Amino acid sequence: MGRGMRVIFPVVSCALLAAPALAEAPPYRGKLFAAISYVSPLSESDQDFGGVVDSLEATEELGYEFGMAGRWSELVGFELSYVNATQDVEFAGGTIGEIDFEPIAFTLEFHLVPSSFVDLWLGPTVAWVRWGDLKLEDGTEIETDAEEAFGATVGMDIALGRRLALTAAVRYLDADADLEGFQALEVDPLFARLGLAARF
């Protein structure tokens, strides 16, 4: 069994077992949301470009995120979201290019404060991460590979009315960009999002 299945199988199994037992009606059944997302890399890597060895890192950038969430019960639910951001890539302190970053993430949510006004939740996250090619300033493009990534998310909704809510979340992913012919660009991003949600 691969690394992804070792994480996904127990997560899904726990959700399926918990859902029938937690039968109390949730404050809402689902939501759609749109948000801005601040992507902050927590890692950098040493890289050899043209015989020069120095740090290679992605910059902090603002992107956007949208997605949906649902509730199986008052305490257990899920979220599916998409983030889009373009990050500059720096080598030896100077910008050498840019790379697109587009993770699609699934989070199993455990609602710790499941009230209709304040909804606090957290849970494990599995993501499929698509990296665009690293586009260098001299016109060269270095290919990348999509990968799976794992992490965790904590979030909170604050009701602004019966159907509208302010939504915020922080997510960590263990994600690196595999550069063809080079060592990986280590990113391990932390996402901080703020947006609006329509709940139904």
Phi and psi dihedrals of 61, rounded to 5? Answer: -145, 160
Matching residue, tokens 């060592």: 183
Distance CA 79, CA 28 (A): 14
Here the tokens at position 16 are 């399926």
For 61-111, write each residue's pLDDT tens digit: 999 999 999 999 999 999 999 999 999 999 887 898 999 999 999 999 999
Which pLDDT does position 50 carry in this prediction?
A: 65
Give the helix/strand (H/E) hosting 103.
Answer: strand 94-114
Number of domains comprising the chain: 1
Burial 47-70 (b: 16+ CB within 10 A, else e): beeeeeeeebbbeebebebebebe
User: Containing domain of residue 103, as a range?
Assistant: 3-199
Residue ranges, the chain, pLDDT below 50: 1-5, 7-9, 11-13, 15-23
Strand order in the sheet with 144-145: 144-145, 176-179, 185-186
Distance CA 176, CA 184 (A): 6
Give the domain CATH number at 137.
Answer: 2.40.160.20
Amino acid found at 59: T
